[in-house]
């Protein structure tokens, strides 16, 4: 009886230890998923947000990208646009946050593939964007490439994926 109790206790301690390890030291996939989720949260703002809040969010948005990052946006019905570097991304973010009444960004169906070097990641997802207080939303397939820079995952390339229409 004592042996069975000890074995059960050791098994419970091992399971608890493993669970705590995964909480405090998550794998790269979880870190990348958190980064992408946080990017969507930072890009989202409501009509009730003040200009200072919007400017802060736009400034924070740039922190998700490397200094030489590229954003390639080519959605149906819109002119293709490429942003290169943090300065262009910052200008576009400030302009978008100032001109839109509200913006809600969600990344759905996120899949992460970590590179063999554990320093790069490819993320595919579906972006669902609602501008203003409209009930209509836009849906666009997205591809992100992330790189681990000084222990932090940063986006080096973000692009829309051309799909069949």
Are the C-beta atoms of residues 101 and 48 closer than 8 Å to each other?
Answer: no
pLDDT in tens, 113-156: 999 999 999 999 999 999 887 788 888 999 999 999 999 999 99
Tell whether 165 is covered by a domain.
no
Domain assignment present for residue 42? The answer is yes
Do 145 and 139 contact (CB within 8 A), yes or no? no
Edge-to-edge strands, sheet with 103-114: 81-84, 65-73, 152-160, 138-149, 120-131, 103-114
- Provide the domain limits for residue 57: 25-160
User: Which residues have CB under 8 Å from 124's CB, separation 6+?
Assistant: 110, 111, 141, 142, 143, 144, 161
Q: How far apart, in whole angstroms, are the C-alpha atoms of residue 93 and residue 142?
A: 18
Would you state the pLDDT for residue 152?
A: 93
Is residue 148 in a domain?
yes
Q: Could you read off the pLDDT of 77-109 as tens digits, one per residue? A: 777 889 999 999 999 998 888 888 999 999 999
Whether 13 is in a domain gets the answer no
| pTM for the structure as a whole | 0.82
Does the residue 89 lie in any domain?
Answer: yes
CATH of the domain at 77: 3.10.450.50
* 3 inside domain: no
Kindly tell me if the per-residue pLDDT of 164 is higher than 70. Answer: no
Contact yes or no for 141/56 (Cβ under 8 A): no
Number of domains within the chain: 1
**Cβ contact 42:57 at 8 Å:** yes
DSSP H or E stretch at residue 12: helix 2-24
Residue 20 falls inside a structural domain: no
pLDDT tens, residue by residue, 25-57? 778 999 999 999 999 999 999 989 888 988 899
């Amino acid at each position: 009886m004592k042996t069975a109790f000890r074995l059960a206790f050791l098994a419970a301690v091992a399971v608890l230890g493993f669970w705590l390890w995964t909480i405090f030291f998550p794998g790269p996939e979880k870190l990348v998923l958190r980064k992408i989720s946080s990017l969507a949260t930072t890009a989202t703002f409501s009509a009730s947000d003040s200009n200072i809040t919007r400017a802060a969010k736009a400034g924070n948005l740039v922190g998700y990208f490397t200094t030489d990052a590229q954003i390639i946006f080519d959605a149906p019905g819109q002119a293709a646009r490429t942003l290169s570097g943090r300065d262009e991304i910052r200008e576009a973010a400030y302009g978008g946050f100032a001109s839109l009444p509200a913006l809600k960004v969600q990344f759905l169906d996120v899949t992460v593939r970590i590179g063999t070097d554990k320093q790069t990641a490819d993320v595919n997802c579906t972006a669902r964007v609602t501008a203003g207080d409209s009930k209509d939303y836009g849906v666009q397939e997205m591809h992100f490439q992330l790189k681990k820079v000084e222990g932090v995952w940063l986006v080096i390339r973000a692009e829309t994926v051309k799909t069949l229409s």
